[in-house]
Each structure stands twice: as structure tokens, then as C-alpha cells.
């Protein structure tokens, strides 16, 4: 593994206040890695300043603490996934009756707004993925994922070539939800073995009240379960209501920073710890009466 110049962000919600960069070796855990729960093998640092380990199962944290004095847990979260290996009906049966009823109401309402049926189109071949990009990129530019999170669908030539290569190897699925012939949400899922990766989802903010992202995710899962080529969807790092609602399970994980014990790195770790603690305190305080204004700082 080679080191990359990795941004360590001092971030409040979607706002980045400051960025410190270090040459780090990134060790990402796949969904299978998190579920197996084996301690990672750390390669020699070489000229790198340390490691960033993402989606490390929390159960392994204690075993990692002896690897170096400058360890900092940047965030903790549940890595959610959806398992539909037994079919879509079994997938839906795993939700509570209340959740199933709410999802069915959303589907029915969106179908009514769309002229009586849902229009969801699937893309998988090289030609289809190229057509998907032509439709989805302009839609992505409207989405809050693009405007606020810098996480819209990639647009450059390199990304287009990667999409084409994945399609040629039958390692990608993509979907677009239309309403009255107008695209309103997109979903892009590259594959790793029998697992699809929740890489990019976005929707037209003008349609937000109709839950287009949830509609598309749910119906895409139906189509994938019927196809039978893939059995799980990995929601990757981070949390969110959407992931919690549509998942069937999850693993408690953490993103961990391990740095060489230099003076500069000690100062950086101290700053990160203080900043992250202050953000966590403000987040908890924002739920208290009279402190709701703090939520505005995260937007």
C-alpha cells in the first residue's frame, strides 16, 4: 500500500473550517472485513506519517491501542447493509409493520404522482452506463450531495472510463427514477464480489417532499433481488436515517488515525481531540431546550 496526501478535516456538519494534510497509508475495511472482525495487518510506514483505518470494527479498538501512542478515533458509526439474498419479500418482512406500511404509502403516493406507475430504469452495460451518466450528471449538479457535500456523481473523463470498465466486467448497476419522463433521482452501485457498494445517490431537491431517494432505493432493491446476481448492499461509512431505515443489519465501526510520535503530530492529535470533543458536545447540547440554534452551525 502506498501513502497518499490525506486531508484531516476540522469539520462541523457540512462546513470544513480547516484542513491539515499528512501522508498516510489508508487501510479501508470492506463489509466482509467488518463482519469477519480480524485485526488489520499494518504495512511498513516508509515515508508515511501514519495510517488512517476506516470502518474498523469497534471490537478491535482495544487491540489496536498498543500499536502506537498517537491514536485518535475520528468518528464512530454503524456500518449498515441490506441483505436481500432470500428475496425481496423476505427483505421487507424484516421491517416492522409500521415501517412497511409507511414505505408502501410512499410508493403508492409517488406512483399516483407519476401517472399511476413507477418509472425506474436500470443500467448495466457499457452503452447503458454511458446513457446513465448523460442523464444523471446534470441531475447530480442539482443535488445537495453535489452542492453541500462535494459528493455528487463524478464527471471527469477518468470517472467515465472507470464506469465503462466496470460495466464491461458486469460489476456495476445503476438506476434512475423518472416522474412524467423527467429524471428525479439516481443511484450508482459498483460491485465488489457479490456485494454492491452504495457509492452515489442523489435527487432533485424540488422533489424532496416525495422521498425520491427512498423510492428509488427500495425499488432498486426489488429489481436486484429478482435478478439474483448480488445479495447485499453495503451502505459504507457514516450513518443517516435513510441507511437505518432500509438496512437489515449493521456493524459498530470507527475511523482511526494512527500517527508517528513527532511534535507536529502530537499537536495535531491534541487539536483534533479537542475539536471533535467540542463538536460532539455542541451536538448533544443542540437537543436541549433553548440550544436549538446550535443546529444551524452544522449546515
The cell for 62 is 482495544
Report the share of the chain in percent with pLDDT over 90: 69
pLDDT at 287 over 70: no
Q: What is the predicted pLDDT for the residue at 144?
A: 58
Higher-pLDDT residue of 283, 10: 10
| Banded model confidence at residue 230, pLDDT cuts 50, 70, 90 | very high
Which residue(s) pair with 8 in the sheet? Answer: 20
Answer for the pair 58, 215: CB distance below 8 angstroms, yes or no: no
Residue 145 clears pLDDT 80, i.e. is over it: no
Q: What pTM was estimated for this model as a whole? A: 0.86
Binned at pLDDT 50, 70 and 90, residue 237 comes out as confident
Handedness of CA 118, 92, 144, 160 (dihedral sign): negative
Consecutive H or E run containing 257 = strand 249-259
Among 12-16, 42-46, 155-159, 273-277, where is mean pLDDT lowest?
A: 12-16
* pLDDT value at 190 more than 90: yes
Task: Show the domains of the chain with their CATH numbers.
Answer: 4-79+251-298 (no CATH), 85-230 (3.40.630.30)
Mean pLDDT of all residues in 180-200: 94
pLDDT at 16: 82
Residue 293 is predicted with a pLDDT of 44
Which CA distances in Å does 147 have to 144, 258, 265, 267?
5, 31, 32, 32
Average pLDDT, the chain: 89
8 Å CB contact between 210 and 110: yes
In this prediction, what percent of the chain has a pLDDT beyond 70?
90
Res. 269: pLDDT tops 60: yes
pLDDT score recorded for residue 168 = 98
Judging by DSSP bridges, how do beta strands 119-123 and 172-179 pair with one another? Answer: antiparallel
Q: Taking residues 194-212, report their average pLDDT.
A: 92
- Helices then strands, each counted (H, E), the chain: 10, 11
Query: So what's the pLDDT on residue 239?
Result: 75
Residue 15's pLDDT is what? 76
126 versus 12: which is more confidently predicted? 126
Read off the pLDDT of residues 36-57 as tens digits, 9 standing for 90 and up: 988 888 899 999 999 999 999 9
Contact in structure between 18 and 10 (CB atoms under 8 Å)? yes
Rounded to 5 degrees, φ, ψ at 124 are -150, -30
58-75 per-position pLDDT tens digit: 999 988 876 666 899 998
pLDDT band at 17 (very low <50, low <70, confident <90, very high): confident
Of the candidate ranges 14-23, 173-182, 222-231, the one whose mean pLDDT is the lowest: 14-23
CA distances (Å), origin 289, targets 71, 102, 283, 299:
35, 30, 13, 19
Average pLDDT value for residue range 162-171: 96
Task: Select the more confidently predicted residue: 254 or 14.
Answer: 254
Amino acid at each position: 500500500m502506498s501513502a497518499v496526501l490525506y486531508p484531516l478535516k476540522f469539520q462541523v456538519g457540512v462546513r470544513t473550517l480547516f484542513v491539515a494534510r499528512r501522508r498516510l497509508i489508508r487501510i479501508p475495511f470492506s463489509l466482509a472485513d467488518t463482519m469477519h472482525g480480524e485485526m488489520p495487518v499494518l504495512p511498513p510506514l516508509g515515508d508515511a506519517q501514519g495510517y488512517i483505518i476506516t470502518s474498523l470494527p469497534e471490537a478491535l479498538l482495544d487491540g489496536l491501542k498498543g500499536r502506537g501512542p498517537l491514536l485518535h478515533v475520528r468518528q464512530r458509526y454503524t456500518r449498515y447493509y441490506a441483505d436481500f439474498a432470500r428475496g425481496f419479500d423476505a427483505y421487507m418482512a424484516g421491517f416492522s409493520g409500521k415501517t412497511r406500511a409507511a414505505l408502501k404509502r410512499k410508493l403508492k403516493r409517488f406512483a399516483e404522482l407519476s401517472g399511476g406507475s413507477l418509472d425506474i430504469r436500470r443500467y448495466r452495460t457499457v452503452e447503458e452506463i454511458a446513457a446513465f451518466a448523460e442523464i444523471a450528471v446534470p441531475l447530480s449538479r442539482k443535488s445537495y450531495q453535489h452542492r453541500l457535500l462535494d459528493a455528487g456523481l463524478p464527471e471527469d473523463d477518468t470517472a467515465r472510463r472507470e464506469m465503462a470498465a466496470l460495466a464491461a466486467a458486469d460489476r456495476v448497476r445503476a438506476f434512475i427514477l423518472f416522474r412524467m419522463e423527467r429524471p428525479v433521482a439516481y443511484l450508482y452501485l459498483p460491485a465488489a464480489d457479490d456485494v454492491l457498494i452504495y457509492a452515489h445517490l442523489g435527487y432533485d431537491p424540488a422533489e424532496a417532499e416525495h422521498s425520491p431517494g427512498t423510492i428509488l432505493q427500495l425499488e432498486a432493491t426489488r429489481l436486484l433481488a429478482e435478478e439474483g446476481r448480488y445479495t447485499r448492499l453495503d451502505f459504507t461509512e457514516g450513518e443517516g436515517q435513510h441507511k437505518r431505515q432500509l438496512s437489515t443489519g449493521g456493524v459498530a465501526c470507527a475511523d482511526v488515525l494512527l500517527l508517528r510520535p513527532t511534535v507536529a503530530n502530537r499537536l495535531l492529535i491534541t487539536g483534533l481531540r479537542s475539536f471533535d470533543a467540542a463538536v460532539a458536545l455542541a451536538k448533544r447540547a443542540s437537543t436541549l431546550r433553548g440550544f436549538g440554534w446550535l443546529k444551524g452551525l452544522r449546515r
